[in-house]
Amino acid sequence: MGFSTSLQGQASHEALLGRQDAEIKLLETMKRCLTSKVKSDREYASTISSLSSQGKKVERCDDLVGSLITQSWRDIMDCIDQTAKLIKQQADSMENIVIDHINSLHSERRRARKLYQEEQTWLTNQFQQLSEDVARKKTEYQKNLEMYKLARSRFEEHYVKSGRGGRKLDDVREKYQKACRKLHLTHNEYVLLLGAVTDCEHDLRNCYLPSLLRRQQSIHQEFIVAWKKILQDTAKYSHFASEKFVEIQAQMKAAADSVNPLDEYKDFIGKHGTRPASPLRLSFDENLVDNTSGKLLPNKLTVDNLTIDWLRARLTELESSLKATQQNRQSIQPTENNSDLSKKTPLDYSREREELRLRCQEKKISRQTEIIRGALNELGCEELPSGCDLSMEGSFTEPSTQSKTSLKSKKFQKNLGPDNGLFTLRRNQHLLAMIKKSPLKYLPPVNDTNNIAMSHSAGSSPTPIRVNSSRYTVPSGLNNSTNNQKSSGGLIEEEWFHGVLPREEVVRLLVIEGDFLVRETTRNDECQIVLSVCWDGHKHFIVQTASEGHYRFEGPAFPSIPELIRHQWKSGLPVTSRSGAVLKTPILRERWELNNDDVILQEKIGRGNFGDVYKAKLRSCQTEVAVKTCKVTLPDEQKRKFLQEGRILKQYDHPNIVKLIGICVQKQPIMIVMELVAGGSLLTYLRKNSSSISQREQFRMCKDAAAGMRYLESKYCIHRDLAARNCLVGNESIVKISDFGMSREEEEYIVSDGMKQIPIKWTAPEALNFGKYTSLCDIWSYGVLMWEIFSKGGNPYSGMSNSQAREKIDAGYRLPAPDNTPDEVYKLMLRCWEYEPDKRPHFEQIYNIINALCQSHV
């Protein structure tokens, strides 16, 4: 237990300054008292010396010649005179040695306190400077973000008014692109700054501060050693020969000898010790990128045609600065020939501070260099993303107007935005020819004006197909017997072709070195086929078009994409020499991934958070199903949330859980296909049939919901949005749990993205106050669901706003029992609404209670 580990907090710092002030005051008190003692001792010595002289003046001494009594008296007076001289000698020593030492120690103590306070102030200013730098960059980020939003809205407004072109539209587009560039550059500077200041703050917190405190402890212990010597000298020069003085001297010596510098601050540390101060939480404000269409990601550099030049120039600049900083740091490090630098006192901070400053600067530059290098290396061989979202304009631009500018030119197209440089006009013409031959395989849906790549959900990762395994067969697209004339249009028939699978889902599916699949993406209204491989991370290679409509990477060209992929897989050769990526195992589509053409949409029956809900039929068996669609214009993050419901539902099988039939992601719009529950929403059913619903039917509805939730609880699934509106009513009034868009398959889930779209009046207090979700939060929601059932579709907390309801719940308010609700049911509701989660019953207990109540009310 020492200063460096136990006194890092602000309270410890203030306590240490207080201790130093108290010690300085103690020194002043000691000096004042010992000065008075010296004066008193001298006065006493002078008095008894004078007394001795008077005692020796014996009257009528001639008459006492030979008297033994007179001689004895004179001897006694001589002893008293010697005692006076000894007392004066000790007083002089006390003044010349002890008090002088106290004066010196007092001066050093004040100087040490001043230097320590200056170093602590410097450290505090450093931490404050780091926070201010981040806050200043964040403010700049917000300013540029507002300019970006304004430019973007003006662009969209003029685009709608002007149609395809015009000088005014060109001017607005140029301003929009400039705002995009400025936002992206500020984004990168913000990411780099966060990476740098984190390392700097870590060194200040974990290197310099402990070193400062260790030296302070050493200084304090040296002071205690000197202080102990002063106390010992005080005892020494207060020593007298009488028995009483000997006893007092022994006590003083014992008290002085009891001082141990190592244990001097033990009680002090135990009383004022604190945990090490928490490091500065310098994190990316994710709200900054909410309105950037997913192009800017938190804590990740944006590498696109707007930033690539800046990143490369910045990398060169940082490498030069790093080299200079390393040389400066080496120049101040002590060596055998530079003994002056290696000699330092405990109060010498300057050299170590300079070394720390250079080390922090070196780490900041090194960290920024690593971030930029990593971002550039991750780019792989795929085209640079477009910084500006001009896909809306590209949908109305003819392919022939596209620029032929290469990737290396890094210029902007006038009409289509930045060109990726990987597809030439020859390939565009070839694709148009294939579209004319087989338009259904290439044309997007009618409503797909933006042609945005869709999200994809595949649940748990599929079992990879291993070559030479007797358990699996080689997919037809990679077999040598495949028709060699199959063109790229046949990709949709290949099991390893995953349609519009986005990059984010590739990371989840490709988990073993060599796993690969083929997907489709769209950039600037241009279809691109991408080979994604798990290799030293994840690599994405665009299939390029060679002469005569053939396809290639770096090697030979082939007349169809399946043949090209088969060649790369069979040959074992790297896709590109730079990446070294080798194809080993194709990842096939899962059985529940349906083709969009397998589903025939019929009438619209509702609307969800992500799009419309339709009644539909499966083409193969004419089975009626319900289909949730996802709006084409939603950002990728929302589409991933939409498909999350399919991921969860595909593994559940329970009569009170709506069943998943499949997911369609081969083309737009992406869809979730589920069983059709004829009765519709439970909330609508309750309100429409409020006059005819019996209490027995209400009990059965609660029992069905409890059975479904008991099943979900056993699967560690937290629904998070249990309510009557999210339950469906089937045949014979059976209730099925639905709408798993907010669900999480975890025992505990902490919300980290704010409280957007949270159903406040159905959500447990701990989830609202702390963002912490467990199955016990669903218990609270189930209590509100019971209230909805027995109120026959009533509005909970009617007349209250969300904030008012939260305040009243925290204050102890609970919903009153609906009319004609049995006491046992309302007691169960109240148990579900216990403020402490651990006091609520689990769904197993709830089901047993409801089941017993059902039987007793038959």
764 within 8 A of 780, measured Cβ to Cβ: yes
- Please give the helix or strand (H or E) that residue 605 lies within, else none: strand 599-607
Which of 485, 489, 484 has the alpha carbon at shortest distance from 438? 489
Which of 21, 14, 24, 19 has the alpha carbon at shortest distance from 268? 19
Number of other CB atoms surrounding residue 679 within 10 Å: 19
Q: Is 332 marked as a binding-site residue?
A: no
Spatial separation of the C-alpha atoms in residues 442 and 435, rounded to whole Å: 6
Ramachandran angles phi, psi of 211, nearest 5°: -65, -45
* Helical spans, DSSP H, in 537-605: 561-571
Q: Is 605 marked as a binding-site residue?
A: yes
- Please give the helix or strand (H or E) that residue 606 lies within, else none: strand 599-607
Spatial separation of the C-alpha atoms in residues 197 and 540, rounded to whole Å: 32
Angle, CA of 206, 210 and 212, to the nearest 5°:
130
Spatial separation of the C-alpha atoms in residues 160 and 393, rounded to whole Å: 10
* Helical spans, DSSP H, in 409-472: 425-437
Q: Is 340 marked as a binding-site residue?
A: no
Q: Is 233 marked as a binding-site residue?
A: no
Whole-angstrom CA distances from 32 to 36, 375, 680, 772 are: 6, 69, 93, 63
Bridge partners for 551 per DSSP: 545, 558
Q: Is 480 marked as a binding-site residue?
A: no
Spatial separation of the C-alpha atoms in residues 34 and 826, rounded to whole Å: 82
Active-site residue among 233, 704, 721, 778? 721
Query: How is residue 755 written in tokens?
Result: 């409280």
Burial label for 365, CB within 10 Å (0-12, 13-18, 19+), is buried
Q: Could you tell me where the beta strands, DSSP code E, fall in 680-776?
A: 727-729, 735-737, 749-750, 772-773
Query: How is residue 791 written in tokens?
Result: 């109120």
Q: Is 611 marked as a binding-site residue?
A: yes
Query: How is residue 26 written in tokens?
Result: 């103690």
Spatial separation of the C-alpha atoms in residues 101 and 418, rounded to whole Å: 79
Spatial separation of the C-alpha atoms in residues 465 and 588, rounded to whole Å: 7
In the annotation, is 721 catalytic?
Answer: yes
With tokens 């004040």, the residue in question is 110
Spatial separation of the C-alpha atoms in residues 646 and 231, rounded to whole Å: 81
User: Each residue of 396-412: b (16+ CB within 10 Å) or e?
Assistant: ebebeebbeeeeeeeeb
Query: How is residue 277 written in tokens?
Result: 């101060």
Q: Is 819 marked as a binding-site residue?
A: no
Spatial separation of the C-alpha atoms in residues 198 and 82, rounded to whole Å: 73
Q: Is 610 marked as a binding-site residue?
A: yes
Spatial separation of the C-alpha atoms in residues 375 and 531, rounded to whole Å: 20
Spatial separation of the C-alpha atoms in residues 516 and 13, rounded to whole Å: 57
Number of other CB atoms surrounding residue 758 within 10 Å: 17
Known catalytic residues are 721
- Write out the binding residues for ATP: 605-613, 628
